[in-house]
Structures are given as C-alpha cells and as structure tokens.
Amino acid sequence: MGKVEFVTKLYTAFDFLYRLFLLNLLWLAFTILGIFLFGFGPSTVALFDTIRKQLISGIGNDKDLIIFFFSSYKKHFIKGNIIGWSIALYFYMLLVNYRFTNFRMEPILQFINGATIVIAIVSIIVVSYFLSLFVHYELTILKYIRTAIILTVIQPLPTILIVFWIVLISYLTYVFFPYSLLLFLSALVYGIMGLCYSSFVRNEQMINKDK
C-alpha cells in the first residue's frame, strides 16, 4: 500500500467517524429542540432517514446533511412522535411486567418473566426493521408492523446480524464509556439501516427477477 493510498484511506475513515459524530450531535440537538418528550421520536426517524440517504446516494457536505436532517425532522414530526411514544409505552409495559414477575417465585410468574425477556429481544429487532421500513417505503402503519414481523422471522441471517451489531455496539459503548456516547446512536443506526437496506434491495431484486 502506497503512502498516498494509506493517507486517503485514513482520511476516509476519519471523515466517516466525523459524520457519525455529526449525526449523533444532530439527533441530540433536535431531541432537545423538541423538549426531549416531543423530539426523540422525530429525531430518531430523521436519523434513520438521513443514514438511508447517505447509503443510497450520499449527502454532499455538512450543510447538505444538516438541511436534509432538519427537513426529515419536520416532515416526520407528527408521525415520529406517535411512533416514538407508542414504542416507548410498549417497552415500558414490558419493563413493568418484568419487574413485577422478577421477584416472584411462582413457576407461572417465572415463566412469564422469561417470556417477557424473549419478547423484548424480538421486539427490538422488529422495531429495527419497522423504522428502516418506515423511511424506505410508503405503507400503512399496520403494513409496516406486519412486514417488520415477517422479515424478522423469514430472514434469519439479517436478523442475526442485527442482533450481533446491537450487542457489539452496546459492548463497545460500555467499554469506552463515556466517550462512546459521542458515536453510540449514529453508529448503532448506521449498522441497522445498512443491514436492512441491503435486505430490502435483495428482496426487490428477487421480486423483479420473478416478474
């Protein structure tokens, strides 16, 4: 590897990390703009949407990235809040159920406790597919949910890779805490969106091939 090639690859790597940092910063800034309660949903959707755009065709400079993020944030503000609060409420109910059964010794409650953990893990995968589908296709909410569940079940390899990515990023975040918080969410979403987008492209190619 020549010196010029090495410097080019090093610059590309640092530019990629800088983009992740900027996306993380934008997510935090627009979450705060929505006073947290009304900002985390649309900010998360905008993060998925911006990374999708980056994967498909790229986004020019920092100004273009910020403009696209803000545009997506405004576009999905209402639906993003509905989705964000629905997901938050769903996982809160799972947490309440887990805490209630965690300290009980009755066999049936212990079974429910274990089932709650399994449901939570599967739900995280379904949510990953759901948000990726939401920014990539125009469907009804029920179709988003149904398709996300179907993809979770019938596509074992992408699903396993999503689980691996979530575990890996969570572990690295723990090891390098608190510095890892500068890249945590954007890195997590980048991997999830990348895996889902690749899956969507393959599915579309198979459908077109069969026509």
State residue 203's pLDDT score. 85
Assign 3-class secondary structure to the chain: CCHHHHHHHHHHHHHHHHHHHHHHHHHHHHHHHCCCCCCHHHHHHHHHHHHHHHHHCCCCCHHHHHHHHHHHHHHCHHHHHHHHHHHHHHHHHHHHHHHHHHCCCCHHHHHHHHHHHHHHHHHHHHHHHHHHHHHHCCCCHHHHHHHHHHHHHHCHHHHHHHHHHHHHHHHHHHHCCCHHHHCHHHHHHHHHHHHHHHHHHHHHHHHHHHC
- Please list the ranges in the chain whose pLDDT falls under 50: none
State residue 171's pLDDT score. 95
pLDDT, tens digit, 9 for 90 and up, residues 185-206:
999 999 999 999 999 998 888 7
Domain count for the chain, please give it. 1
**Domain range spanning residue 138?**
3-210
- Mean pLDDT of all residues in the chain? 91
> Global pTM?
0.92
State residue 1's pLDDT score. 57
State residue 204's pLDDT score. 85
State residue 4's pLDDT score. 67
